Amino acid sequence: MLTVKQILDIKGRKVFSADRAETIRAAINMLSDHEIGALLVTDGGKPIGILSERDVVRRLAESDYCSLDVPISAWMTSPILYVGLNYTLDECMSLMTHKHIRHLPVIEDGVLVGMISIGDVVKAEIQDRDMLISHLEQYISGTGYGH
């Protein structure tokens, strides 16, 4: 079973974040510039929330007028749900599905070490299943082993 650590080893551990006092306008620009779906929100470098594209869209839909110059902390989701490096893809998929979230920070021993998205999990699951199918086909056909 694949783990979060294996996803991050392939994907990388870069996490885009913004301080809670930054504006929504700045956050939207970061999301767009980096082509990402969520920002980790920090206070003094400590993770305190997450701001996703979904958070922005929902907030805009709630009001006839929304200022984009309010702090990120006004729109972020908090507290954050997170996983550790040893979580399996199934555990991540279950958490994301049941909580209706698309991004999970990865925290190990109290330290932020990465972020995964539902896309990362699905991609890894598909690759893992494709490899299993390939191995089973080789086993059944008697090719690929002992040669």
The pLDDT value given to residue 131: 80
Q: How confident is the model at residue 132 (pLDDT cuts 50, 70, 90)?
A: confident
CB within 8 A of 7, min separation 6: which ones? 89, 116, 120, 121, 124
The pLDDT of residue 145 is above 80: no
The pLDDT value given to residue 52: 94
On average, the pLDDT of the chain sits at: 90
When mean pLDDT is compared across 12-16, 118-122, 132-136, the lowest value belongs to 132-136
The pLDDT value given to residue 105: 94
**What digits encode the pLDDT tens for the residues 43-94?**
988 899 999 999 999 988 888 887 889 999 999 999 999 999 999 999 999 9
The pLDDT of residue 147 is above 60: no
The answer to whether residues 103 and 116 touch, using CB atoms and an 8 Å cutoff, is yes
The pLDDT of residue 117 is above 90: yes
Q: Can you tell me the distance from the alpha carbon of 19 to that of 21, in angstroms, rounded to the nearest whole number? A: 5
Residues in a beta bridge with 43 = 46
The pLDDT of residue 144 is above 70: no
The pLDDT of residue 146 is above 80: no
CB within 8 A of 122, min separation 6: which ones? 93
The answer to whether residues 5 and 86 touch, using CB atoms and an 8 Å cutoff, is yes
CB within 8 A of 136, min separation 6: which ones? none
The pLDDT value given to residue 135: 79
DSSP run (H or E) holding 32 = helix 24-34
